[in-house]
Amino acid sequence: MAAPGTAGGRVLVTGGAGFIGTTLARELADSAEQWVVLDNLHPQVHPGSEPPADLPASVDLRVGDVTSADDLDAVVADLRPDTVVHLAAETGTAQSLSESTRHGMVNVVGTTQLLDALTRAGHVPSHFVLTSSRAVYGEGVWRNVDGSTFQPGLRTHAQLESGAWDHGDGAAHVPNTVLGTHPSPINVYGATKLAQEQILSAWTGSHDTRLSVLRLQNVYGPRQSLSNPYTGIVSLFSRLAREGRSIPLYEDGEITRDFVHIDDVVSALVAAIAHKPADHVRTVDVGSGVRTTIGDLAREVARYHDAPEPHVTGQYRDGDVRHASCDVEVTLRQLDWQPRVSLRDGVAGLQEWIATQLD
């Protein structure tokens, strides 16, 4: 078993030139026997299709696509990885509704192509690590004022158009947990992430190997794409505030999310990679454990830049959830891990990094 903070062996990271993969490589690549990244350098994430400048020199970057059997065969047959970290995915919630085939191809077919390449090579890695998403929970579990709970479905277009943002009078969202919240995705992106979990669980179970699934909340921080419109609201809010503009807030500004800093996500991945699960599948929630309204986030970003007060627009996104947060108590125990970056410190650090990129 690799020691904490080391990778050990041969590691394949799909989509490893992106936001999370680059940060993870800076932490672990030098400790691996081989650290191979397969990434198609999509221009939506990598302007000009250029690899990130801060990928460590020890990273062996192979430009290729997880939907291509030939690209995967070339990497898998050569590397025969001990550990596979599967990061490659399309991530835009709204984009998944208008480009469903693209999300299905990359997230679902890309996963099955990876497994087929391993089968053709006659090789079974000892450990898979998948970055999944809080989107698999959909709207999650809600509690009525009388204490009873229910799991609502999709907020319809008509409901959102009428400004009926919540589910039930006085009902409140309960933080998601692996054991307490049945996955019920309400958008195409979430459905494809759940499919990834199920496909990998079936394959690894049949091949007597191990799978770690990390359901990530809203990840933000340095090295986040500033050009990709689907990478999250923290970078969007930051750009607007830097320009001295008032940040627009969708719905009533009371949408909540769990914003988790990239350093905390990577430390969870490091812990998961270093310590394989004792059983077939280990699934954990990775977040800050703190629920934040988008209004509070916007005010924190605006305060940093001395920008105008954010304003509520009443706009909405079809397929979006009202509230998303998680309880990380089980994760703390299973991974011996702790989120450490506060929202205020994380936002300030992101603004400082953005300044180095744009000034």
Catalytic residues: 189
Query: What gap in Å lies between CA 246 and CA 229, rounded to an integer?
Result: 18
User: Euclidean distance between the first and final Cα of the chain, in Å?
Assistant: 44
Q: Which two tokens stand for residue 246?
A: 């008032």
Q: Where are the alpha helices (DSSP H) in 39-134?
A: 69-79, 93-98, 100-103, 110-121
Secondary structure class of 159 (helix, strand, coil)? helix
What are the C-alpha distances in Å from 138 to residues 9, 31, 80, 132, 142? 37, 37, 36, 13, 11
Which residue do the tokens 């990928």 mark? 55
- Give the DSSP H or E segment for 250: none
Give the C-alpha separation, 315 to 100, whole Å. Answer: 23
The pairing of strands 141-143 and 281-286 is unpaired
Q: Which residues pair with 275 in a beta bridge?
A: none
DSSP assignments along 262-324, one per residue:
HHHHHHHHHHHHHS--SSSEEEEEES-S--EEHHHHHHHHHHHHTPPPPEE-----TT--SB-
Token pair recorded at residue 31: 């400790």
